[in-house]
Structure 1
Amino acid sequence: MLGVMTALPAVTTDIYLPSLPDVADDLGTSAAAAQMTMSAMLVGGAVGQLVIGPLSDRFGRRKPVLVGVTLHVITSLLCAFAPAIGPLIALRALQGFFNASASVVAMAVIRDRFVGPDASRLLSRLMLVIGVAPLFAPSIGGLIAGEFGWRGVFVGLALYGAALWVVVLLRLPETLPRERRLASTRGAWRGYGVLLRDRHFVALSVLPGLGQAVLMSYVVGSPFVLREGFGLSANQFALVFAVNGVGLVAGAQINASLVRKFAPIQIIRTALPVSCFLTAALVVLAATGAGGLPAILVMLFLIMSMCSFTPPNASAIALSRHGERAGTAAAFIGSLQAGVAGVVSPLVGALGEDALAMSTVMAGAAAAALLVLALATPAYRRGGWTQPVHA
């Protein structure tokens, strides 16, 4: 159930991907403007998590997610009738704001009950569900768009939200009893000040955002790179996207097994240099054309596989530092994850929407993550990796 909740933003993103070129044509706008409908949802999700997280610490976990999913359904239906790209971008921002309730509450529920490696393992299992979204969502979205147009995709998202609302109403227990809730809304908001003063928490919270930026740069750039740049059909693109979804799933499975033997920080400090190497290699392939499309596809698969290692482990370590305000901490992490990705990924369109632009942005985000880990945490200091949880 938590996986289905966490997957709501991912499904909202991936099911809509094959329709991006159609949206640009139908609304008479540019590819970059169509990509902004993706970025707007991410930024809206970032703001939404910042608002909803403290409310879940104050009022419990169930009420915020039920209200948020209800508004997601309404906003999805409004997107289906958007008359122009401007209103669609605004509605997508609202859609991201409201469906953020599902993902931030899911993370908070895990922290209510688990810490450390157990939390990291469960977050990796959530990554499995998120990884399944690329396996099926683009194909389903393509089928829906083929029958009903891109507007029909948003009707499908409304139906998904309605089904999720029923599941949450019937199956989600309240994991934050009244005696553990923050006494006032003002106290809940003050929690962000506590979090910002914890520099290790802030650094660890940035890492999932930069990891998500690598993923989202691929997500927003790949329809134009693979369909327009390399001439793949909609079905071929959906197949490629599904294969890379397998990479996400495989990486999450491996990570869930590794955390039983290795500390989460050990995994991160190995995974990030590997990601940097792979993204740098992708830049070289895109710039030189060596190996053509097959080489790029292989490299993208490897990079997507590595995307499943850093976010769950960094999130688990960060959450373990502030269990008394798990909702606020989860919101802070989630908002940075969506916000950083939302700010970075549009650079793909700004730099030219081709393979070199996409790979350059992915490599930059991976390099920034490695720098944050090296400079702002004790991960690479002598003995620092053994116990990075305490300031």
Structure 2
Amino acid sequence: MSSRPRHPARTILLGVLSAFGPLSMDMYLPALPEVASQLHTTSAAGQLTITSCIFGLAAGQIIVGPLSDRWGRKLPLLAGVALFTLTSFLIPFTTSIWPLIILRLFQGIGGSAGQVLSRAVARDLFSGPQLGRFLGILMSINGIFPIIAPLLGGAVLNFTDWRGVFVILGVTGLVLFLWTLFGLPETLPNEKRTTTGFAAFTQMSGLLKDRPFMGYMLSQGFVYGALYVYISGSAFAFETVFHFSPQLFSIIYAVNGAGMIVATQLAARNLTDRNGDRILRGSILAAALASTLLLFAIHQWPSGILLAAGLVIIISLVGAVNTTATTLALGNEARHAGAASALLGLGMNAIGGLMSPVVGLFGTHSSLPMVMLIMLCEWVAFILLIGLTHQKSQ
């Protein structure tokens, strides 16, 4: 089957559905200080609205993915998008922090359906290198949103308050619900579905015993841990430590996002049935070595320009890792693509969510802790990948 999409509108839809993470998180970030101020709470409590959404994005996938192997992709996807839309429209009516935290949790659960099922639908349609190239297209569409979402959120705050951000998210969810309802066919036929919902969860437990699959899942998860450390710590490193302007930081952030898109496409176009493991190992090793050299360089010659140059290499390689690891992990799971995609999403969001607040524990007076944590995540990812996929390569 050709990897070139025969229905570009559906490809764009799947790409946007896969971007519920950055849509839910990055667009909201500029409004976070205002939320804490207007709801008369602490910045730490305001941060919990981010944490609860990350937890929802992670936990929702292990529910939605296996159920989609039993009931098909479209019904769970519509239910998830509907939940995201409903909670987005309810959030502007909150007047205290805890209802907001709870609604953000359910917003994340709803958004998780788009993340997990966009990958499952891709696996229903393609396999092998064709799957890798199609995932590359989806991830390139996805990669646009971390660039534009914070800018859009900041623009919204120029003419309304933080509640307006969620109104826009609600409208976006409604458009995606209608687009999915009328524009996306069911991709998992009845004869390929599991017989019961419990069978799908049993398959998930079986995947946890599959060493190569776990190697791909955990290595991808820790690379995302490095990405989340960068997202959490980079603004403080550039603006507080090296005194870059917010505008210059936004440019650096956008360049790294563009780098991820380029690396995604390069990996997807060069992926074959035989070289996937080599590309994945090379990408993670390159990021691990680059982060090690960057840590040494920043320690010896503290420089914001040097930090930016090193990070653009490390963060761009996330795109190559994401495309290749997802393709390899889903490659043998045609019948249980929902369960496999769910575990991949859980690894990315759970490990990333756990690493995200760690960088803040070291304070904002040096960029070294951020770079050190990125290096640690990359080397752990490489060691786990080699250790768990070693037998496969023999």
* TM-score of the pair, normalised by structure 1: 0.90
Distance 1:377 1:71, change over 3 A: same
Verify the 8 A CA contact 1:38 1:220 in the aligned structure 2: no
**Alpha-carbon separation, structure 2, partners of 1:305 and 1:259:** 17
Structure 2 residue 127 is matched with structure 1 residue 115 = yes
Verify the 8 A CA contact 1:264 1:313 in the aligned structure 2: yes
Match of 1:326 among 317, 337, 344: 337
Verify the 8 A CA contact 1:201 1:321 in the aligned structure 2: no
**Percentage of identical aligned residues:** 34
Post-superposition offset of 1:178:
1.3
**Alpha-carbon separation, structure 1, partners of 2:305 and 2:46:** 27
Distance 1:30 1:303, change over 3 A: farther
**Alpha-carbon separation, structure 2, partners of 1:48 and 1:22:** 28
Judge which range, 55-64 or 204-213, deviates more. 204-213
Verify the 8 A CA contact 1:41 1:93 in the aligned structure 2: yes
Distance 1:229 1:145, change over 3 A: farther
**Alpha-carbon separation, structure 2, partners of 1:210 and 1:262:** 24
**Alpha-carbon separation, structure 2, partners of 1:360 and 1:39:** 22
Verify the 8 A CA contact 2:129 2:273 in the aligned structure 1: no
Aligned to 1:188: 200
Provide the secondary structure at the position in 2 that maps to 1:9: helix
Distance 1:147 1:7, change over 3 A: same
Map 1:24-173; keep pairs closer than 5 Å: 24-27=36-39, 31-173=43-185
Map 1:1-391; keep pairs closer than 5 Å: 1-27=13-39, 31-260=43-272, 263-288=275-300, 290-353=301-364, 355-378=367-390, 384-385=392-393
Post-superposition offset of 1:350:
2.1
Post-superposition offset of 1:206:
1.3
Verify the 8 A CA contact 1:111 1:323 in the aligned structure 2: yes
**Alpha-carbon separation, structure 1, partners of 2:376 and 2:47:** 19
Post-superposition offset of 1:197:
2.2
Distance 1:204 1:88, change over 3 A: same
Verify the 8 A CA contact 1:145 1:151 in the aligned structure 2: no
Give 4+ residue runs of structure 1 displaced > 6 Å after superposition: none
**Alpha-carbon separation, structure 1, partners of 2:228 and 2:66:** 26
Post-superposition offset of 1:144:
0.6
Aligned to 2:4: none
Q: Map Cα deviations across residues 222-271 of structure 1 (whole Å, 9 max, x no partner).
A: 23333444444444433322121111111112112221596211101111
**Alpha-carbon separation, structure 2, partners of 1:334 and 1:68:** 15
Amino acid at match of 1:147: F
Post-superposition offset of 1:26:
4.4
Verify the 8 A CA contact 2:268 2:324 in the aligned structure 1: no
**Alpha-carbon separation, structure 2, partners of 1:229 and 1:151:** 32
Provide the secondary structure at the position in 2 that maps to 1:88: helix
Distance 1:165 1:196, change over 3 A: same
Q: Map Cα deviations across residues 273-319 of structure 1 (whole Å, 9 max, x no partner).
A: 1111222233335545x252211122221211111111221111111
Distance 1:279 1:120, change over 3 A: same
**Alpha-carbon separation, structure 2, partners of 1:200 and 1:119:** 18
Provide the secondary structure at the position in 2 that maps to 1:323: coil
Distance 1:331 1:261, change over 3 A: closer
* TM-score of the pair, normalised by structure 2: 0.90
Structure 2 unaligned runs (5+)?
1-12
Post-superposition offset of 1:163:
1.3
Distance 1:156 1:148, change over 3 A: same
Aligned Cα root-mean-square deviation (Å)? 2.2
Judge which range, 144-153 or 26-35, deviates more. 26-35
Post-superposition offset of 1:48:
0.2
Verify the 8 A CA contact 2:242 2:303 in the aligned structure 1: no
Distance 1:74 1:230, change over 3 A: farther
Structure 1 unaligned runs (5+)?
none
Q: Map Cα deviations across residues 170-224 of structure 1 (whole Å, 9 max, x no partner).
A: 1111001112111111222211222122122122111221121111111122233
Amino acid at match of 1:202: M
**Alpha-carbon separation, structure 1, partners of 2:107 and 2:241:** 30
Post-superposition offset of 1:133:
0.9
